[in-house]
A and B are shown apart, each in its own frame.
Chain A
Amino acid sequence: MSIFHHPGDEFLFDYATGALGEAWGLAIATHLALCPACRKAVADMEGVGGRLLEDATPDPIGDDVLSRVFEQIDSPHAPEVLQSTATPLSTEQPVLPEPLRGYAGGDVNALRWQRLGFGASQFLIPTGENRVSARLLRIPAGRPVPTHSHGGLELTLVVAGAFSDSTGYYGRGDLQEADSHLQHQPHATDEEDCICLAVTDAPLRFKSLAARIVQPFLGI
Chain B
Amino acid sequence: MNALIANVALHQDRASFEQIFKHFAPRVKAFVLGQITHPQMAEEIVQETFVNVWRKAKLFDSEKAAASTWIFTIARNLRIDHLRKENRPEPDINDPAFMPDPEPMAFDLISHSQDAARLNRSIEGLPEEQKEVLRLAFFADKSHPEVAEALKIPLGTVKSRIRLAISRLRTELEGMA
Contacts and interface: CB of A to CB of B under 8 A. Distances in A.
B86 interface: yes
Contacts of B43: 61-62, 65
Contacts of B64: 43
B54 A69 contact: yes
Contact of B170 (A41, A57, A95): A41
B100 A36 contact: yes
B90 A47 contact: no
A73 interface: yes
B4 interface: no
A43 B97 CA distance: 20
Contacts of A47: 65-66, 69, 115-116, 119
B96 A86 contact: yes
Given A59-B29, A61-B29, A93-B96, A10 B66 contact: no
A35 B76 contact: no
Interface string A58-80: 11111001101110110000101
Contacts of B119: 47-48, 51
Given A48-B169, A73-B54, A18 B79 contact: yes
A81 B26 contact: no
Nearest to B21: A66
Contact of A9 (B73, B123, B135, B166): B166
B95 A10 contact: no
Interface in B127-146: 134-135, 137-139, 141-144, 146
Contacts, number: 221
Contacts of A50: 65-72, 116
Residue of A1, A54, A95, A127 with most chain B CB atoms under a 10 A cut-off: A54
A128 interface: yes
Contact of A97 (B71, B95, B142): B95
A33 B95 CA distance: 9
Contact of B68 (A14, A33, A40, A53): A53
Nearest to B49: A69
A103 interface: yes
A45 interface: yes
Contact of A84 (B76, B79, B94): B94
Given A60-B26, A61-B43, A65-B47, A19 B97 contact: no
Residue of B144, B159, B166 with most chain A CB atoms under a 10 A cut-off: B166
A18 B90 contact: no
B97 A94 contact: yes
Contacts of A81: 55-56, 58-59
A10 B173 CA distance: 19
Given A33-B92, A33-B97, A50-B65, A20 B143 contact: yes
A24 to B, nearest CB: 9
A32 interface: yes
Interface string A24-35: 011011101111
Given A52-B134, A66-B18, A19 B146 contact: yes
B47 A29 contact: no
21 contacts: A17-B138, A18-B76, A18-B88, A25-B88, A41-B170, A44-B173, A45-B166, A47-B66, A50-B66, A51-B119, A51-B123, A53-B31, A53-B71, A58-B26, A59-B27, A65-B50, A69-B47, A81-B58, A98-B98, A101-B97, A128-B85
Given A19-B146, A97-B97, 5 more contacts: A36-B102, A44-B173, A47-B115, A52-B31, A53-B31
